[in-house]
Amino acid sequence: MGVIVLLIVVAIAVSVTMVMQSGGNDEDNDSGWAKWSSWGSCFVVGCGTGTQERLRLCKETADNGDESVCLGPDRQTQNCTVNCPIDGAWASWSSWGSCSAICGNGKMQRTRTCSDPAPQYGGQECSGSGEQTKDCTVHCPIDGAWAQWSSWGSCSVTCGNGKMQRTRTCSDPTPSHGGQECSGSDEQSQNCIVNCPVHGAWAQWSSWGSCSVTCGNGQMLRTRTCTDPAPQYGGQECSGSDTETETCQESSPGCSASVCFGSYTTFNESYRRESVTLSGCNSTTAKCDKVTGDSWYRFKLPSGENGVLDTCPEYLSCGTCAPIWMKSSHPTEFGIISDVTMAVSVGGGQCSLWSGSGSVTKCSVDGEAFYLYKLWTPPYCYQSYCAGTYSFEED
């Protein structure tokens, strides 16, 4: 009985395969045997394959002590298996569950089971927790709001009436986490007018301005403005000049305008010579009888320069009545008649053998400046000549 108790303690679960090792069967009860006992515990060291037995008693033996009437063995054995303990192991974690909050901070959970494998045959349960939690945040819905309108776009026409447009976006903030979209339109339009180009046109000419000189030939000016209308909105400027000039003539007291634009005589360098025949050494006087007093003359060199010099040239013989040179300065202003002293030049370094009074004025006609002279007495030169004939012919 001690063996039987031990086997019962060791065996936890037994899977039995009957293998009869001693005779008899379950039907031998009519031969004097009592019923077989239940199978005993599996005898095995630890776990795995072992044996177990059962017993029966001879009833005759119990009644009269004679066991010879019971035929066959009084015990049977068979193979048995004691399953080894299987310790439990955790299966994989489940996915995280939903956050406990619908908006803001909350908790979320996941689980696992001790089923990979599950504990069996006395195996140990899994160690640790089958649940796990962590913090979670559920974003609260953010409703969209309109940003500022854009600047107005260009007008739809280049000239006249049209439309212009501006837009806005639902981005201040943008709707997120299930928030509502902005209500209303994201576009706006309005009428617009683009001024058509206005080309400029000339206004009336102004009155003529004052003459540019106080004496003689000058110019006067008038103007006009591009203002009737003025060019606008990309219109063209007026074509042509905004100024106009015209010749004018001024004649005030003391002004030589009537002289400059009147009648005068023009001479080149040699404008008068005479022929004189002398015997012995005599004196002669050569006169410029073509130049008379109280008349205006213009003296021009062949080169076009003024024939009246500012200094004595010292290169002509007596009788050559030109050039005349100024013993006074030429005037610098136009239109003023000045009294001056002039002289005639002769050769041999002798100057001013004749000098006389006269007048001079500076003229400007058609853009050309020149001098006019008035000699109050005809000029002459005086020098001694030896016998011979000297011709002072006019050029």
DSSP for 202-258?
--PPPPP---S-SSEEEEEEEE--S-TTPPBTTPPPPPS-SEEEEEEEE--TTB-HH
- Asked if residues 136 and 101 have their Cβ atoms less than 8 Å apart, the reply is yes
For the chain, the average pLDDT equals: 75
**Which of 29-33, 166-170, 343-347, 370-374 holds the top average pLDDT?**
166-170
- Single-letter residue type at 241: S
Distance CA 144, CA 133 (A): 34
Strands (E), the chain: 14-17, 48-55, 75-82, 104-111, 131-138, 160-167, 187-194, 216-223, 243-250, 265-267, 275-278, 282-287, 296-299, 324-326, 338-345, 351-365, 368-375, 380-385, 388-391
In this prediction, residue 333 carries a pLDDT of 76
Say whether 105 sits in a helix, a strand or coil: strand
* 47-84 pLDDT, tens digit each: 888 999 999 888 765 555 555 677 888 899 999 998 89
Query: CA 319 → CA 267, 285, 312, 347, distances in Å?
Result: 16, 7, 16, 10
Query: CA 261 → CA 216, 240, 342, 362, 367, distances in Å?
Result: 8, 33, 24, 12, 13
* 115-172 pLDDT, tens digit each: 999 999 889 999 999 999 999 999 899 999 999 999 999 999 988 999 999 999 999 9
Q: Which of 5-9, 36-40, 351-355, 365-369 has the lowest mean pLDDT?
A: 5-9
Average pLDDT on 166-191 reads 94
- Asked if residues 361 and 337 have their Cβ atoms less than 8 Å apart, the reply is yes
Which residue segments constitute the domains of the chain, with CATH numbers given?
2-82 (2.20.100.10), 216-250 (no CATH), 260-391 (no CATH)
In this prediction, residue 251 carries a pLDDT of 61
Average pLDDT on 327-356 reads 65
Q: Please determine, for residue 96, whether its predicted confidence score (pLDDT) is greater than 50.
A: yes
Average pLDDT on 260-265 reads 76
Q: Please determine, for residue 88, whether its predicted confidence score (pLDDT) is greater than 50.
A: yes
- Beta strand pairing call for 104-111 and 131-138: antiparallel
- Asked if residues 203 and 214 have their Cβ atoms less than 8 Å apart, the reply is no
Q: Please determine, for residue 307, whether its predicted confidence score (pLDDT) is greater than 60.
A: yes
Type and span of the H or E element at 6:
helix 2-10
Provide, rounded to the nearest whole percent, the portion of the chain with pLDDT above 90: 37
The tokens describing 100, both together, are: 């406990």
Q: Please determine, for residue 217, whether its predicted confidence score (pLDDT) is greater than 70.
A: no
Average pLDDT on 301-323 reads 55
The tokens describing 61, both together, are: 């033996």
Q: Please determine, for residue 301, whether its predicted confidence score (pLDDT) is greater than 80.
A: no
- Beta strand pairing call for 275-278 and 282-287: unpaired
Planar angle of CA 19, 24, 30, nearest 5 degrees? 145
In this prediction, residue 17 carries a pLDDT of 36
The tokens describing 20, both together, are: 């009869």
Q: Please determine, for residue 348, whether its predicted confidence score (pLDDT) is greater than 60.
A: no
Q: Which residue has the higher pLDDT, 379 or 167?
A: 167
Strands (E), 6-159: 14-17, 48-55, 75-82, 104-111, 131-138
Residue 9 phi, psi dihedral angles, 5° rounding: -70, -40
Planar angle of CA 197, 200, 203, nearest 5 degrees? 150
Average pLDDT on 216-232 reads 88
Residues 6+ apart with CB under 8 A from 288: 271, 272, 321, 322, 344, 378, 379, 380
Claim: this prediction has a pTM higher than 0.75: no
Widest CA span in the chain: 230
The tokens describing 284, both together, are: 């002669």
Q: Which residue has the higher pLDDT, 395 or 231?
A: 231
Provide, rounded to the nearest whole percent, the portion of the chain with pLDDT above 70: 65
Residue 28 phi, psi dihedral angles, 5° rounding: -85, 10
**pLDDT category of residue 13 using cuts at 50, 70 and 90:** very low
Q: Which residue has the higher pLDDT, 304 or 390?
A: 304
Average pLDDT on 85-106 reads 93
